[in-house]
Structure 1
């Protein structure tokens, strides 16, 4: 089970198309907590392999390509010694990129859109997924979005994608997000625990945790994939220094991850156990989630980032925060490191 705890002028490719498993977590967590500078944790080692750290925003099934690339030896074959760690939210992940304690961060695109307003020079370098797997889950007795008026809604923190996305859904449904009390309730597992304890009435969960909630008697009342097509719910980001100093490492990391994505899409049954160990959730629920992901083409084999999806993410941030959202989202994306990318 996973723990929960910078510029190169390249041309962007055209867009619009649709583990040792818990590896070295003690060292990784210490490095991220310290937000070390560019030497030390996650830097190049003196051996034949290049050591890198990848942080993820949760342990949901969307991050399975990273786990499979490690388990199947794709990173090792590429000359990479990869440490994986899970961090609580985009601000922590992007801080790890800026400090050099992680070379890659996989999370919601909203985190980088927000951080860019504060001067972050990190880039989105690949889409890990191309559909939104978040669902709104409510306590028993609440069967529709309209019944959330006056209720407590759990999200990660204010201004995060788990905050602005459900607000957009509520307003689009005519409920009125201002009628709902949004409460910072922590990570996915924390939010599920808060729901079980009756501290909140609804929350936003990603796959397969919504299935876990359903088995506990809660209701799924909204699917955020209905809001927008081709939304890159999880993207891979990297910092300026890594992109400038280790371009070949970046390319090899994306190539190996892309290989794992294709393996998952073609062999979902063979990766079930890896998924069970990465999420800590029962096998039947993991299988249900993988079946849904394969049928909806959730995992992105191209790595391309949908313009429509990024614009929706930008819109939700503009609607529900006072952040200075960048006008040109192309400046946040550099897909030239993908297999077949151009400089």
Structure 2
């Protein structure tokens, strides 16, 4: 029995060491962090768009990196951006688009880790309203987005523009990214919706929507944007990076570690980590939603120039400030911290 116990203990030790996924390699990055108490803003934390943030939190990766993180959840990406600009947040998990828009406003922010390689955003007609049969019918209609000025709003703007319309040709209504969005659909308060999973999968399963455009896949992203399109990222002000390079590296390590875990995880692995309230009362449906969205996640956190150029092209189409500005894409993102993290985590 003693021998069996020793063998079991040894096996457990080996397993724990394997699950650590480079924890020892992260130790160096934890030394003398300039800032350990970090406020992260996000616009719709339960959305699958931001799944890596919740996974990092619940897997204990922030704690492993020596970070004490407070996550503040807002109604949409534009509000989390405001928190960063206003100083109530240190960093944001939000849409890459904002890095380009803010450079056009001479308020630079920099993305240091890519979480999503496809947007995962879906445009759908609300069946109860019965007023939208195709994208051409959106003019003059009420369209629900997570929040005005968010990435869901940007997709709508681009789709309208590509059809020869203007962003102001439709009325935009913020409906959030959870039960409030489902409620707006079921009450027929909006004619169409631009949202993400699990909201979209829930509404589709209930027969409440008809999908018109879907960027949860590479093909769908190509159909809408004509190329790869960066989605959720970790971004912050250049001053934060300059004053806190080790903390920036530690944050990047956390998210790269999460992306590597997610890349290998099964659906069941993911569901075990998440809180029950994320499932909107239907765990099996959430599982389907995750599987729909899994292709959208970055495999390693790296950015591509092609993706950045696609985002710039799209924003120029409907944002006059971006169209008239001279944008230096090299200042909107950096792979420096991701590459450093990968060197240690993939050993």
Q: TM-score normalised to the size of structure 2? A: 0.75
Residues 276 and 286 of structure 1 are in contact (CA less than 8 Å); yes or no, is this contact kept in structure 2?
Answer: no
**In the TM superposition, what is the alpha-carbon distance from 1:234 to its structure 2 partner?**
0.7
Kindly name which structure, 1 or 2, has the bigger radius of gyration based on alpha carbons. Answer: 2
* Residue equivalent to 1:146: 136
1:276 and 1:283 in contact (8 A); partners too: no
2:172 corresponds to which of 156, 167, 183: 183
Count how many residue pairs are aligned between Structure 1 and Structure 2: 294
Contact 1:57 1:107 in 2 (8 A): yes
Offset at residue 185 of structure 1 (A): 2.4
Give the drift of 1:50: 1.5
Q: Which residue of 1 aligns with 2:321?
A: 323
CA contact (8 A) 2:38 2:90 kept: yes
Supply the distance in 2 between the matched residues of 1:66 and 1:194 (Cα, whole angstroms): 26
CA distance in 1, matches of 2:277, 2:107: 30
- Counterpart position of 2:202: 212
1:143 CA drift (Å) = 4.1
Q: TM-score, normalised by structure 1?
A: 0.75
CA RMSD of aligned residues (A): 2.9
Match of 1:227 among 210, 224, 227: 224
**Aligned equivalents of 1:113, 1:237: Cα separation in 2:** 11
> Is this contact kept in 2: 1:145–1:175, CA < 8 A?
no
Deviation at 1:241, TM superposition (A): 3.0
**Structure 1 unaligned runs (5+)?**
1-45
- Unmatched 5+ stretches in structure 2: 1-31, 216-220, 343-347
After superposition, what is the alpha-carbon deviation per residue over 1:287-332, rounded to whole angstroms, capped at 9, x for unaligned?
11221233x2x22132222333333332332222321444222222
Structure-2 separation of matches of 1:79 and 1:284: 35
2:101 alignment partner, one of 95, 107, 114: 114
Q: Distance in 2 between matches of 1:238 and 1:271?
A: 27
Partner residue in 2 for 1:57 = 43
Aligned mates of 2:125, 2:73 — CA distance in 1: 26
Between Structure 1 and Structure 2, the one with more helix by share is: 2
Taking the aligned partners of 2:167 and 2:55, their CA distance within structure 1 comes to 41
Partner of 1:243: 241
Equivalent pair of 2:77/2:151 in contact (CA under 8 Å)? no
Whole-Å separation in 2 of the counterparts to 1:322 and 1:49: 37
SS in 1 for 2:338: coil
Q: Secondary structure at the match of 2:336?
A: coil
Residue 47 and residue 306 in structure 1: after superposition, are their counterparts in 2 closer, same or farther (change >3 A)? closer
Q: Which SS does the other structure have where 1:334 is aligned?
A: coil
- The alignment partner of 2:337 has SS state of coil
The answer to whether the Cα contact below 8 Å between 2:259 and 2:300 also exists between their aligned partners in 1 is no
The answer as to whether partners of 1:52 and 1:81 remain within 8 angstroms in 2 is yes
What is the CA deviation profile of residues 83-125 of structure 1, one whole-angstrom value per residue up to 9, with x for unaligned ones? 2121234443233334443222011122232222222122111
Cα distance in 2, alignment partners of residues 274 and 252 from structure 1: 22
Corresponding residue for residue 278 of structure 2: 279
The answer to whether 1:165 aligns with 2:162 is no
* SS in structure 2 at match of 1:121: coil
Contact kept, 8 Å, 1:91 with 1:115, in 2: the verdict is no
User: What is the alpha-carbon distance in structure 2 between the residues aligned to residue 338 and residue 287 of structure 1?
Assistant: 29
1:1-343 to structure 2, matched below 5 A, reads 50-59=36-45, 60-140=47-127, 141=130, 142-156=132-146, 159-172=149-162, 174=163, 176-177=165-166, 180-189=169-178, 190-216=180-206, 217-224=208-215, 225=221, 226-228=223-225, 229-268=227-266, 269-275=268-274, 277=276, 279-281=278-280, 282-294=282-294, 296=295, 298-324=296-322, 325-340=325-340
Contact 1:232–1:310 (CA under 8 A) maintained in structure 2 = yes
